[in-house]
Structures are given as structure tokens and as C-alpha cells.
Amino acid sequence: MDLRKASRDPWVWGQVALVALFAVLAPLLPRYVNLGNADYALNRVDPTWIRALGGLMAAVGLVALQYFDAKARAEERWLIERYPEYQRYARYVRRRVL
């Protein structure tokens, strides 16, 4: 990481200012807020639903990973068939970005 370049970047300074703002304001926020009669209506979260949704989202994520991996392999086969020089290029480029 180039620290000189990062120190000149306004986005980096914006992030530093945002973190500093939260660090100053967080202790001033109340620890518990009572909403009166609306409190029960807004905080009726059943933990079993949250766990079920978490498991469902994990399953959907795994299926999506498999789908996009197969799609990328098919597209690479297509690229190699159409552009033979792509195979040489693919050796130098990482397969996954994230």
C-alpha cells in the first residue's frame, strides 16, 4: 500500500473523519431507549426466524457460488475457442477477484 498516495486521497480522510465522528458521538448515545407502547410492536423479533433465514441465505449463497463458478468456466471455454490467445493471457491473470 502506498501511504503517500493514500494520505493525499480525500476519500481516505473522509473515512478517518467519519470514524472519528462516531468515536466522539457513540458515548453520548443512550444505552436504552423506551418507545412506550410501540416498543413491543417494533421489537417482536423471533430468533428462530432469524436462524432460519440465516440458513436459507447461506444455502442461496452456496448455490449462487456454484452457479457463477460454472458460468465462468463455460465463458472461459467459449473465450478459448473463439480467441486462442486468451489461454496465454489467462495464465497471468488471477481466476478469482475476491
53-98 pLDDT tens trace: 888 999 999 999 999 999 999 999 999 999 999 999 988 887 766 5
DSSP 20: H
Average pLDDT, the chain: 83
What is the number of residues in the chain? 98
Nearest to 88 by CA among 97, 96, 80, 98: 80
Q: Residue 34: pLDDT above 80?
A: no
- Sequence spans of domains, the chain: 3-92
- Write the CB contacts of 87 (distance below 8 Å, at least 6 apart in sequence): 80
